[in-house]
Amino acid sequence: MRKFSSYGPIDTDLHYYAPRTELIKKVTTQLTGNNLDKGEHYITIWAPRQTGKTWIMQQVVRNIYNRGDFDVAIMTIESAKTATTDEALLSEFISKLTTHFRRDFLSASDWRSFPKVMLKKMFKFDFKPSLTWESFTEIFSKKFFDKPVILIIDEFDALDEKYINKFVSKFRDMYISRQNENQLESHKKSCLLHGLALIGVRSVLGIENVKGSPFNVQRSIHIPDLTYDEVNHIYKCYEEESKQKIDQAVIDQIYYEFQGQPGLTCWFGELLTDVYNNNTDQPITMSHFESVLADSCETLPNNNILNIISKAKQPPHQEIILKLFNTDKKYVFKLDNKDINYLYMNGIIGIQKEGNVNYIRFASSYVQKRLFNYFSDDFFSETGDLIEPFTKLDHVLTENSLHIKNLLRLYEKYLKKNKGWLLKNAPRRKDLKIFEAVYHFNLFMYLHNFLIRKKGQVWPEFPTGNGKIDLIIKYANQIYGIELKTYSDEFSYKEAIRQAADYAMQLKLSTISLVFFVESIDDDNRTKLEKVHPDKTISVETIFIESGNT
């Protein structure tokens, strides 16, 4: 029986996968062209990490190889990322070509500009292949090939920027030279590089190159995350092979949490069906899902998530992430913004289209949750005394119930007393005000530390992936919902009440607390705005927390 795998390209005989037939066909056609003799554009394949770029291209190579009318290879150039000279880089490149095409590119007589230092090494039997940029085009000539060539280079953006530009300038020259010989069949042209794909290449797209891209002949193909249907297909394949039922709600929730990101979707599949699947005779239910999800957030390492956190916490990216937790503002997605591009290509943010506008969103609810947990713990690993000694709590909680408004009054008192040291090193916006998200992190840590001593728990939820934050509290087998906002004006206040009622309905709650952070509020406005708002069968209780001037 196959298994779920998120450790590099999958083996379809061993692992569950989505066929992605149409995508593979599209990429194949881009490389081969509809007309063999005319050729096709050189392309770049780009997407965030762990989206299956390499596997897609491996399938493309297999399809092209089986046709028999091309010499085709896929290779990685990541090992050359430490190269500091042209000689070292090109020697590594030729070595890779030799391995993958299985032919002799190393004959000294074939390179008019063979470096003397390499000849010396050759006589000492310590030979490494080499060539110069001037003779680069000769690699793809009739000296070495008798068929049109298709080359796919993985991890190309691992190279230093200057070497990327040198490579793509040469590839562009090759493409133009082939176009200038349009009257000839593909295998009779002076340059036989019929198709080229560079995988994961941001710089080649002209985003980071201040001089503009020299590779303006290329077409770019974006590898999207898995669709809902593809995620559903993968888990249905497991059901069919294992004979273990998975509740449809579980599959739906997996797509909701991970938004089809292949690496995380399959990693969670491994946890759910293998690592934590002790009773295969019983169906996998939402209870099982929630238990595994909690462990995946708190106790299990994942290299993809560790990489995301390491990138997100570094300046200036941390500032962007903190802005994205803003509950009242959306930010436009612009791929040509280097910081947004960086966060996107590292799988931290995604795109949410509304009408004709593309907004930034977190890549998935799960990524947002992990970042929220990380920053909450990082900023407020020490919360100090949560309440004054001898404080009576009978108005806050009993053995069977929790009074959310009174609990938040305790927090407001705690914040006012401790904000001097608590927020001393808190990150600030350019106007020197503390980021809104910092208060949300602090409230979460306060509630976590308060409730854990009372056998309660709190966890964040992110229904849209775009700033919206809800805290879910479980106490005495009851569920309480808290939606967090920053107060801006009366219009937004009314809209937030409507949204909170809709969310409470989704959670199947009869009441929900809508909490507004505000710098200051007088007694008259507190009396006016702090109310219980009935909405059909839902009651929304508005509560204000005064953060003070910090």
For 223, residues 6+ apart whose C-beta sits below 8 A from its C-beta are 23, 45, 46, 47, 51, 52, 53, 56
In this prediction, residues 288-309 reach a mean pLDDT of 93
Least confident of 381-385, 449-453, 463-467: 463-467
Asked whether the predicted pLDDT for residue 109 surpasses 80, the reply is no
Name the CA dihedral angle for 124, 128, 132, 133, rounded to a multiple of 10 degrees. Answer: -170
| Predicted confidence (pLDDT) per residue in 410-462, tens digit | 999 999 999 999 999 999 999 899 999 999 999 999 999 999 999 999 999 88
Which stretch, 147-161, 258-272, 452-466, has highest mean pLDDT? 258-272
Q: Which contacts qualify for 231-237: CB closer than 8 Å, 24 or more apart?
A: 231/18, 231/255, 231/260, 231/265, 233/18, 234/4, 234/16, 234/17, 234/18, 234/265, 234/266, 234/269, 235/16, 235/269, 237/2, 237/16
Contacts of 176 (CB under 8 A, 6+ apart): 217
| CATH fold of the domain at 21-222 | Rossmann fold (3.40.50)
The architecture in CATH of the region 228-300 reads Orthogonal Bundle (1.10)
Tell how strand 538-546 and strand 532-535 pair up: antiparallel
Tokens of 260: 């089809």
Note the pLDDT of residue 152: 95
pLDDT value at position 219?
73
Range 103-125 average pLDDT:
51
- Provide the residue ranges of all domains of the chain, joining segments of one domain with +: 21-222, 228-300, 374-546
Residue 129 has pLDDT above 90, yes or no: no
pLDDT for the residue 130: 53
Q: What is the pLDDT of residue 438?
A: 95
pLDDT reported for residue 274: 95
Q: pLDDT tens for residues 190-204?
A: 999 999 999 876 655
**339-380, pLDDT tens digit by residue?**
998 899 889 999 999 999 999 999 999 999 999 999 999 999
SS3 337: coil
Lowest mean pLDDT among 23-27, 96-100, 135-139, 211-215: 211-215
Instruction: Give the angle 277-283-284 at the CA atoms, nearest 5°.
Output: 55
Contacts of 16 (CB under 8 A, 6+ apart): 2, 3, 4, 5, 234, 235, 237, 238, 266, 269
pLDDT for 204: 54
* Strand boundaries in 123-165, DSSP class E: 149-154
pLDDT value at residue 87: 87
Pairing of strands 532-535, 511-518: unpaired
pLDDT in tens, 17-30: 999 999 999 999 98
Report the alpha-carbon distance of residue 399 to residue 406 in Å, rounded.
Answer: 16
Element (H, E) at 516: strand 511-518
pLDDT of amino acid 111 = 45
Helices within 102-219 (DSSP H only): 116-123, 161-179
pLDDT band at 330 (very low <50, low <70, confident <90, very high): confident
3-state secondary structure 348-382: CEEEEEECCEEEEEECCHHHHHHHHHHHHHHHCCC
- Position 140 scores a pLDDT of 93
**Residue range 173-182, pLDDT digits in tens:** 999 999 899 8
